[in-house]
Structure 1
Amino acid sequence: MDDPTPEVADQEAPSSGIAKAQPEVGPPLVEMVNVWKRFGQGAGETVALAGVDLAIQPGEFVTLIGPSGCGKSTLFNMIAGLTDTDSDGSVVFKNKPQRDGELLGKVSFMPQKDLLFAWRTVLDNATLALEIEGVPRAKARARAEAMFPEFGLAGFEKHYPHQLSGGMRQRVALMRTFLFERELMLLDEPFGALDALTRAMMQRWLLEIWEKHRRTVLFITHDIDEAIFLGDKVVVMTARPGRIKTVETIDLPRPRGAEVITSPEFIEIKRRLLGIVEEESLKSFASAGAS
């Protein structure tokens, strides 16, 4: 088993290649402190996450990238309250350590698939989380109907999921996530299955919605362009066991339009992050080949 208390170097110590997130002003909304996650035991043990330290400030849009299998989804599930951390560390939410599923219900999250119910209308899919919380159906519907124009779904309230395009289905799923009204939203590759044009449109639309509501967002993606375009910060994870490799602050002006992706600043950030991710991806391939 890996040593549960490894030394994680600061950015000033390049020999390790691992960098902790830099301190922020004010208390974070959510913080991961020396988080570990192991699956299995003995010779069959897999270390998914090792000593993860990450702080997310209120109102930030943080994007998370890294090679396949680096533990992004495991980290996501921990912050969602679906998976507990190992005893080495903790997830801290609003200055309180969370254990044993305590985060469940305190954050809103959207997995990779939209998970819309085929037998429910778009309106009834959007209100599902509110109904589970005990909001009366009429009140839940009124709150959802008020958001349909903002989410580009006006006129589709009585449609069923099979009658919608992929982008519209994702809008319904995102509206359901927004209606849950939690300070922290976790989005796990919500645009990964969309075609390039629809994906670009959805990215710009999501930023418009976020800038209006200013929820705190952690957004997982495999797309470096998407990570840079959306994020205030891009967090890069190492190959498994996942650690925080670097945290890049994105000093690009907001609001961001399509033109930003051709700017010299964007291209330079992408060049830098692509090199880091490719380095970790090669380590992941080498590890898989040796096993």
Structure 2
Amino acid sequence: MPGRTIPQPVEAVPETAPPIVELANVSKTFGQGRQEVSALEHIRLAIGRGEFVTVVGPSGCGKSTLFNILAGLTEADPGASIRYGGQPRAAKELLGKVAFMPQRDLLLPWRRVVDNAILPLQVEGMSRAEALKRAAPMFPEFGLAGFEKHYPHQLSGGMRQRVALMRTFLFERDLTLLDEPFGALDALTRSLMQRWLLEVWQRHQRTILFITHDVDEAIFLGDRVVVMTARPGRIKLVLDVKLPRPRDAEIVTSPEFIQIKRQVLAAIEEESLKSFQQATGG
């Protein structure tokens, strides 16, 4: 935007710990000829063990496409380099190796809460009895004690998300992808869920890559915030969030939080303007 100074892009590589996943030259094009659309272009990103990395950017910037590649649901264009657990991988080889929660909770309406939660364990061949034993201690932790025999339609939106997150955490993998899990919740429930998720993350010591459209959420949750450009999506900016943990609601009014928010918003607004100009031919 005119009159604003946009921070210079930096390489999205963590300072500590060997990375769980490393991406280099990751691009994705859909369609052919006049129908060809470049969704991602030359993504370079590394995520270290135990990090909580959040991803923001203008609508249509390829965030979900990036997640689908990391989940093994979409293959990257030729020339991409993907290393997972230190080993080179094709995107399709990541299927089943990464825990992935999409935007919708996708709970099966005919299964009770407990049976929705243990579904990934049963898919992997674990007996129901063993899966129930594994899951039992997590119900109180996820605020679901006493609701094990309920059906999804009997739960609030926040509780449904807790079930979906518990299911994702039971699918124990080195990397967990969360695609706007709180996007459909009201503001108060969303705030409560954010703080709760940080507590769960710190106890389980998982590595999380988290998509959101909410800049406050991205900063509040993340160790680093990755800002993507308008389509084709590239990494425009990476900011370290050096705010103390554990974090509480008051931290969003701190000068440090506000400064980071200004930088992220400036970068996103610049890209949103580009996206608007592309759409209108301006």
Query: Under a length normalisation based on structure 1, what TM-score does the superposition of the two structures give?
Result: 0.93
Post-superposition CA distance 1:52-92 (Å, at most 9, x none): 00010000000000000000000000011111111121221
One-letter code aligned to 1:152 = G
Moved over 6 A (4+): none
2:171 is the counterpart of 1:180: yes
Post-superposition CA distance 1:155-210 (Å, at most 9, x none): 00000000000000000000000001111100000000000000000000000000
For 1:239, the equivalent position in structure 2 comes to 230
Q: Conserved in 2, the CA contact under 8 Å of 1:107 and 1:185?
A: yes
Q: Conserved in 1, the CA contact under 8 Å of 2:52 and 2:224?
A: yes
C-alpha deviation, 1:22, in angstroms: 4.3
2:160 is the counterpart of 1:165: no
Provide the C-alpha distance between the structure 2 equivalents of 1:263 and 1:232, rounded to a whole number of angstroms: 16
Against the structure 1 CA distance between its residues 100 and 232, is the aligned structure 2 distance closer, same or farther, given a 3 Å change threshold?
closer
One-letter code aligned to 1:31 = E
For 2:279, the equivalent position in structure 1 comes to 288
2:209 is the counterpart of 1:222: no
C-alpha deviation, 1:18, in angstroms: 4.4
Q: Conserved in 2, the CA contact under 8 Å of 1:20 and 1:245?
A: no
Provide the C-alpha distance between the structure 2 equivalents of 1:162 and 1:56, rounded to a whole number of angstroms: 36
Provide the C-alpha distance between the structure 1 equivalents of 2:199 and 2:91, rounded to a whole number of angstroms: 35
RMSD, matched Cα = 1.6
1:190 is paired with a residue whose SS is: coil
Q: 1:140 aligns with which of 108, 128, 131?
A: 131
Between stretches 137-146 and 217-226, larger displacement belongs to 137-146
For 1:58, the equivalent position in structure 2 comes to 49
One-letter code aligned to 1:114 = D
Q: 1:250 aligns with which of 236, 241, 244?
A: 241
Q: 1:29 aligns with which of 20, 23, 26?
A: 20
Post-superposition CA distance 1:65-120 (Å, at most 9, x none): 00000000000000111111111212210121211510011110100000001100
5 Å-filtered alignment, 1:74-89, equals: 74-89=65-80
C-alpha deviation, 1:23, in angstroms: 5.5
C-alpha deviation, 1:17, in angstroms: 5.8
2:208 is the counterpart of 1:199: no
Q: 2:254 aligns with which of 243, 255, 263?
A: 263
Between stretches 41-50 and 109-118, larger displacement belongs to 41-50
For 1:279, the equivalent position in structure 2 comes to 270
1:239 is paired with a residue whose SS is: coil
Structure 2: gaps (5+ residues): none
Q: 1:130 aligns with which of 121, 132, 138?
A: 121
Provide the C-alpha distance between the structure 2 equivalents of 1:74 and 1:81, rounded to a whole number of angstroms: 11
How many residues are matched?
278
2:41 is paired with a residue whose SS is: strand
Provide the C-alpha distance between the structure 2 equivalents of 1:46 and 1:160, rounded to a whole number of angstroms: 41
1:152 is paired with a residue whose SS is: coil
Between stretches 213-222 and 86-95, larger displacement belongs to 86-95
2:61 is the counterpart of 1:104: no
One-letter code aligned to 2:225 = V
Q: Conserved in 2, the CA contact under 8 Å of 1:18 and 1:243?
A: no
C-alpha deviation, 1:140, in angstroms: 0.4
